[in-house]
Amino acid sequence: MDIKRTKIDDLTAKLSLTLSKEDYFDKYETSLKNYKKQVNLPGFRPGKVPMSLVKRQFGKSILAEELNKVINDGMYEHIMKEKLNILGNPIPAENDDVQGDWDNPDTFTFEYEIGLAPTLEVEKAMKKAPVKYKVKVDKKMIDKHVEELAKRHGSVDDVEKSEDNDLLLGTFIELTKDGEIKEGGFMNDGTLHLETVEDKKTKKALTGLVKEAELNLNPDKIAKSHDELGKMLGITHDQVHNMEGDVKFRVNEIKRLTAHEVNQELYDKVFGKDEVKDEKEFEEKLTGELDKMFDRDATNLFKRQFSESILDNLDAPLPDEFLKRWIQLSNEKPISEEQLNEEYPGYSRHLRWQLVEGKVMEEHKLEITEDEVRSQAKGMIGAQYAQYGMPLDEEMLENFANNVLADKKERQRIIEVLQENKVLDTLTAQVKLKEKEVSYDDFLEIAGAGQN
């Protein structure tokens, strides 16, 4: 096989592959013979179909299949030999006009296009690292956290009449704009946390209620967002927008949370028996835990901002037109030009970051070990269960980790997290960090702004 590569521009090239008969014909004839043994045609016993008929009906498709195998092997051998850093996969050239006679196979010539990865100068894109924030843990925050822990470990009791911090379990019924029950409307059992109702008039109306009491509520006054309201009412975001009237709420149960007293029993429930002896130690340990949690959150924010900053300052154009064609040709479902143009900027940015990661991993000889993958899986699972006050022992963690890592997609996701962290840790070590202390509210605002 003869392969010629010609430059189209700095990031795309054309491969012309010329196949002589010797490159494929023996394999083609072997495939024909094998197919002849299997083919079933009316009027012939299996394996007894004349070769001339097999060639006439199936010869071209079998030939195309064999040629495709030889072409793919030849292209990727050329790519490896020439050490080409390609993006995506080779695709047929736009003006691809195959040269060759399919009825009398001899010499064939095919043309493909390849996209090439740009040269990356990551260090130049790291001119200015973002600020690393440090959240200040003050007395007010500690007091609030103690209050939340006391509630979390408190008791929930049934009561006869609602007060302004109670929990109402009831049924939401959709009404028309005239206040009548809507035919075909939703009826959903849900929960109202009176503590979260901000509208004073609505909150007052919800206090002093008893079981089986009913009242009509303005849906916009009982939830902070349409998403929250949709979950409460058991409907979709679009259905929330289409609501015309109020909702009827029928009280089924009234629950009251009584916070746990801040005492030794609470200390033991939060940290384990006798780990904390008094309120001072309790607050000191909470301060340490909050410091660790906020430092982890601040580190994650810094890494996110740092990677965005690198991409913003990275001079690394991509072969956009080639990649758009490759996406359209390789996509299982048809993708319109409009959809492609809308989604491509996000795709190209993600691809550029993958190239950064690949370069840093190679240059610094970074590797992801199996032990690291397993440890990361166990850490993620353990943290998830700990949020709900359900610590797992080592055996349970191992079993859960085995299940997660058996899923190829989940395993790959964990590897990608580890790889990104290793790359960003390596790059962070090369810049001078500036730290800034902020309040928790300011940190939330900064982190939220970065998501927009």
Residue 264 has pLDDT above 70, yes or no: yes
pLDDT in tens, 163-191: 989 999 999 999 999 999 999 999 999 99
Residues 6+ apart with CB under 8 A from 192: 167, 168, 170, 206, 222, 232, 249
Residue 450 has pLDDT above 70, yes or no: no
CATH 2.30.29 fits 155-258, yes or no: no
CA 415 to chain centre: 13
What's the burial of 226, exposed, middle or buried (CB within 10 Å: 0-12/13-18/19+)?
A: middle
Higher pLDDT, 332 or 118: 118
Confidence of residue 54 (pLDDT cuts 50, 70, 90): confident
The number of residues making up the chain comes to 452
pLDDT, residue 96, reads: 66
- Count of C-beta atoms within a 10 Å radius of residue 111: 18
**Given 3.40.1160.10, 3.90.650.10, 3.30.70.1050, 3.90.1150.10, which CATH number is that of 2-116?**
3.30.70.1050
Domain 271-449 carries which CATH code?
Answer: 1.10.3120
CA 301 to chain centre: 17
Residue 47 has pLDDT above 80, yes or no: no
Q: In 121-271, at which residue ranges do the beta strands (DSSP E only) sit?
A: 132-135, 155-158, 167-174, 187-193, 214-217, 247-258
pLDDT, residue 382, reads: 86
pLDDT, residue 449, reads: 75
pLDDT in tens, 326-359: 999 988 888 899 999 999 999 999 999 999 999 9
pLDDT in tens, 228-257: 899 999 999 888 988 999 999 999 999 999
State the average pLDDT for the chain. 91
- Which of 313, 375, 1, 298 shows the shortest CA–CA distance to 134? 298
pLDDT, residue 359, reads: 94
Q: What percent of the chain has pLDDT over 90?
A: 72
pLDDT, residue 127, reads: 80
- Residue 71 CA: distances (Å) to CA of 2, 3, 204, 229, 351: 11, 10, 76, 57, 27
Confidence of residue 452 (pLDDT cuts 50, 70, 90): very low
Q: What is the mean pLDDT of residues 109-114?
A: 94
Confidence of residue 387 (pLDDT cuts 50, 70, 90): low
Residue 410 has pLDDT above 90, yes or no: yes
**Six-digit token string for 311:** 């991409």
pLDDT in tens, 8-32: 999 999 999 999 999 999 999 999 8
Phi, psi of 114 (to 5 degrees): -125, 145
The domain limits of the chain are: 2-116, 155-258, 271-449
**Six-digit token string for 326:** 């490759």
Confidence of residue 388 (pLDDT cuts 50, 70, 90): low
Rounded distance between C-alpha atoms, residue 111 and residue 130, angstroms: 47
- Which residue type, as a one-letter code, is found at position 144? K
Q: What is the mean pLDDT of residues 131-140?
A: 92
